[in-house]
Structure 1
Amino acid sequence: MIHVSDPSVTAAAAALEEPGAVVLARPGVLVEAGPGWFARVTEAATPTAPAPALRDVGRDPRRWPAWWWALLVGLGMTGAGLGAAAITLGPVLLWYDRDYLGMTLHELHAANHHLVHFLQHDRITMAGTMVAIGALYTGLAVGGIRRGWPWAREVYLLSGAIGFPTLFYFLATGFVEPLHTATTIVLFPMFVAAVRRAPHAPRWHLAPEGPEPERRRALVGQLLLIVTGAGLFAGGAVISVVGLTGVFVPTDLAFLGTSAQALEVVNPRLVPFVAHDRAGFGGALMAAAVAITLLSVWGWRRGEAWVFWTLAAAASAGFLPAVVVHGAIRYTDFIHLAPVYFGIALTGTGLLLARPYLCAKASPRPKD
């Protein structure tokens, strides 16, 4: 039995090389090492296999590996988010929106001159979150699932298990959006294929431990990203509940200069229409938050630059459109935007602290 008294993954892995060795870590070691220490030690002590040959895969989808399907879902989410943004910045309403409401864009503007901008702000924020999810899934597919990390599949699975069922929010809002439904119908079978396919043989190659000050700064950055992800999940849950019940928060009504009852008088379907966008955004935010939190908890490895760039891309796609669209429509209430500003500060600080650690040059890996 060997007692480990320092947080070095290398020391624990070396101890495990002795046949029959049992390694015990003191509580202080686990605190200093941060989340995922046992997994990192196991990975360091586990022989890796060469990259699986893909020459026989061909064009037959039945032979495609799991990470190809996961990548397709990520790219599909990104494309859907960009498409939603293009629609919002262009016609705003599609034919089925107009048919459901029985109103044109000009009639909405005439009913309340802030209403169209309010719809745009909800939908742009939702589109940014969809692109963020796409970035997270793409990173998990290429950087994680492709290389056989077991936790990468779990992150992908748990995030999707929250995101896809939010389609059924329509049971509460009463509005079925054809484009949202079609996107889910196309992507969900790919998601299932990604999580049901046999995982790749592991082929990770961990970078050396590196300087202790660098690791400790990255540990603080990891904590900040975990806090951000947890906060986003709580925010998404609140937004979902609000979207499925009261729909508007006080700052929304102050911006619109009206009440929910007044909007219902204008058109009884107007509030359910807004509720669909609001609740859908909350569900997407929870799915993104789960991926951010678990990627930060389980994926923190020195030299794994893809983790840094995946989180940075997701943060940029999620936060920046929200700030820009609020400024563009002059919905700049500080209390309303405070969670966004706080999230940007935490994420930016966390990524800056962790960049030297995550993006450290690793030893050569087995070639694909």
Structure 2
Amino acid sequence: MPDWTYHPLSPIASSVFGGRRTRVWAMKVLAAVVTRVGGRRWIPWVFDHPPVPPEWKGRFGATVPPSIAREAVAVLPVQGAGVIEIGPVGLADIDTIRQATADRRCRVIAVAATPEAAAAVAPLVDAVSASVDSGTVRLTEPEIDTAVRALADPSTTVLATPAVLIAAGPGWFNRVIEAATSTSPPKRLHDIGFDPRGWPAWVWGGLVGVGLIVAGIGAAAIALGPVLLWYDRDYLGLSVDDLRGVNHHLVGFLQHDRLTMAGNMIGIGVLYFGLAWGGIREGHRWARNALLISGLVSFLTYFYFLVTGFLEPLHTLVVIILFPMLLLAVWRAPSTPHWPPVVEGPEAQRRRALWGQLLMIGVGGGLFVAGAVISTVGLTSVFVPTDLDFLGTSSEALRAANQHLPPFIAHDRAGFGGALMGAGLAVLLISLWGWRRGERWVWWSLLIGCAFGTVPVLAVHFSIGYTHFEHLLPVYVLVAVVTVALALSRGYLTAAADRSPRINR
């Protein structure tokens, strides 16, 4: 039996690092997360999928070799698999099967290689077979419609072979479940009415996105206009002209921080609106979870002021208005599916899109790490060496000129880092779980969101002359990677799809 894998990036990683090594590594990492760091409690919540049809119970899963059985039994049920077949099992594999099935959360069938192996493994599993069951369909291609049609027969079991999961990744189980789920059309805007008590969750999520966009535009207008508002001047005891007297680059430096933050706010707003309109509105639980995780990180970094010591009134007002809307958007997971039928396209198109998915997952993870680093710098040293080189001064000199200057700048710097962490999580989770053919909102949300997160950054840096190559290198890399990723996946994500709903399939 061939080696088995379970990872969304395995088709790509296998070609780069070697098939067997990558597949085993990926499975072991995921199994360790599930079994050794409390993953059984939170992994199913994060990787939520539509309910598995009750008539599929014990009939939908995968077939794996003993060498990877422990990892498969730990990981696959999280994705919706209700049965794992292990085989061929020999006497030498009994200890492996015992470890694999000790804390199982699904039905396990062993295909015994010999009668002696069958007798030894029987107490450890739910069923033993001495040969391949004729009522079992073992898929060798990731054909969703084939799986759904086969499962319509209550006497048939459908198992994904290693070839399917190597090609399609763990999202295959979710896509099969979605394809078999009865759906209804989502409500149109004019059907919702003006009474907020009757608004669905996605409307509140959309308002959070719009609110962040408006707030970002307002922040940009302030940065390009007065730069300082009345409470800024009161805290610093300085005017804009006084800042120029302290350091002739200081006003431009403040503008660069604030415009960068404003662009990031607009980008997050676009991503949140996409999650609400394209994800939650269609009933995708993963979209609600993505909005919840990213939103909590973005909004809770508001409390950075406890470290910086500067409380910004407008920032507080935005949080007071939008955070309750976020809670209304994510309070309950979507219960009614409204997505269109799953339509698979050309295999070559899908494989190109996998490269784009890999790159965008890397972008999301990179943004989160960058945000964490920027937050740490903002809450500690405040400045990086290129900042001080651009200003032509030291942090001690700035503090000596005005003791409130460093915490004032730290508020902007740390706040941007927190927002960048939220944006990174949104990009990561959208790319990880929203990569479906015909989901145009995914492509456009990532394009527009990343554009607002990068173009203003480059524009303001060049306008004030802060052009250190090493300082802007991460932005250059980000622009290049996002461009390549979205170019590779454009045909897949923006493909025309059958938008007619599947009702009572």
Instruction: From 485, 488, 501, give the equivalent of 1:353.
Output: 488
- Structure in which a larger fraction of residues adopt helix: 1
- Aligned partners of 2:255, 2:198: CA distance in 1, in Å? 42
Q: Distance between the aligned counterparts of 2:501 and 2:142, measured in 1?
A: 27
- The aligned amino acid for 1:151 is W
* 1:275 corresponds to: 410
Which of the numbers 191, 203, 207 marks the counterpart of 1:72? 207
Assess, with a 3 A threshold, how the Cα gap between structure 1 residues 280 and 39 changes in structure 2: closer, same or farther: same
Report the residue type matching 1:124 in the other structure.
L
Quick one: which of 147, 150, 174 aligns to 1:15?
150
The one of 433, 437, 452 aligned to 1:302: 437
**Structure 2 contact 179–342 (Cα < 8 Å) conserved:** no
Aligned partner of 1:254 in structure 2 is 389
Give the structure 2 partner of residue 292 of structure 1.
Answer: 427
Higher alpha-carbon deviation: 42-51 or 286-295: 42-51
Letter in 2 for 1:264: R
Deviation of 1:210 (Å): 1.1
Matches within 5 A, 1:20-39: 21-34=156-169, 36-39=171-174
- Pick from 333, 336, 345 the counterpart of residue 468 of structure 2: 333
Change (3 A) 1:54 1:93: closer
Distance apart, 1:18 and its partner CA: 2.5
Q: Distance in 1 between matches of 2:436 and 2:498?
A: 13
Which structure features the higher share of strand residues? 2
Q: Which residue of 1 aligns with 2:43?
A: none
Q: CA RMSD in A?
A: 1.7
- The two structures have a TM-score, normalised by structure 1, of 0.96
Pairs aligned (count): 367
CA distance 1:93–1:20, change in 2 (3 Å): farther
User: Distance between the aligned counterparts of 2:141 and 2:333, measured in 1?
Assistant: 36
The 1-side partners of 2:170 and 2:466 are apart by 39
> For residues 206 and 127 of structure 1, what CA distance do their matches in structure 2 show?
38
- How much identity, in percent, do the aligned residues show? 59
What letter matches 2:467 in structure 1? T
**Structure 2 residue runs without a partner (length 5+):** 1-135
Bigger radius of gyration, 1 or 2? 2
Structure 1 residues 196 and 116, CA gap change in structure 2 (3 angstroms): same
SS at the partner of 2:263? Answer: helix
**Which amino acid is 2:480 matched to?**
A
Whether the 8 Å contact between 2:206 and 2:272 is mirrored in structure 1 is yes
1:38: how far off? 1.8
SS across alignment from 1:313 = helix
Q: Check whether the contact 2:140–2:164 (CA below 8 A) recurs between aligned residues.
A: yes
Q: Distance in 1 between matches of 2:365 and 2:197?
A: 37
SS in 1 for 2:138: strand
Q: Match for 1:153 among 265, 288, 307?
A: 288
More contact order relative to length (CA 8 Å, sep ≥ 6): 1
> For 1:192-203, what aligned pairs fall within 5 Å after superposition?
192-197=327-332, 199=334, 201-203=336-338
Tell me the alpha carbon deviations over residues 55-109 of structure 1, each in whole angstroms, 9 at most, x when there is no partner: 7753221111111111111000000000000000000010000000000101111
Instruction: Please name the residue that 1:124 is paired with.
Output: 259
Q: What amino acid is the match of 1:280?
A: G
Q: Is the 8 Å Cα contact of residues 242 and 248 (structure 1) preserved in structure 2?
A: yes
Aligned partners of 2:342 and 2:425: how far apart in 1?
26
- Paired residue type of 2:161: R
What is aligned with 1:139? 274
Alignment partner of 2:368: what SS?
helix
Query: 1:359 and 1:276, CA in 2 relative to 1: closer, same or farther beyond 3 A?
Result: same
Compute the displacement of 1:330 (Å). Answer: 1.1
Question: Would the aligned equivalents of 1:206 and 1:303 in 2 still touch at CA under 8 Å?
Answer: no
3-state DSSP class of the match of 2:227? coil
For residue 214 of structure 1, the aligned residue among 337, 345, 349 is 349
The question of 1:233 aligning with 2:368 is answered: yes
CA distance in 2, matches of 1:96, 1:53: 43
User: Are 2:225 and 1:97 equivalent residues in the alignment?
Assistant: no
CA–CA distance in structure 2, aligned partners of residues 324 and 260 of structure 1: 26
- Would you say 1:166 and 2:301 are equivalent positions? yes
1-structure distance, mates of 2:459, 2:146: 48
Match of 1:109 in 2: 244
Tell me the CA shift for residue 132 of structure 1: 0.5
Check conservation: 1:147, 1:200, Cα contact below 8 A.
Answer: no
The verdict on how the C-alpha distance between 1:224 and 1:268 changes in structure 2, with shifts beyond 3 A counting, is same
TM-score (norm 2): 0.70
Structure 1 distance, partners of 2:188, 2:221, is: 39
SS at match of 1:363: coil
Amino acid at match of 2:146: A
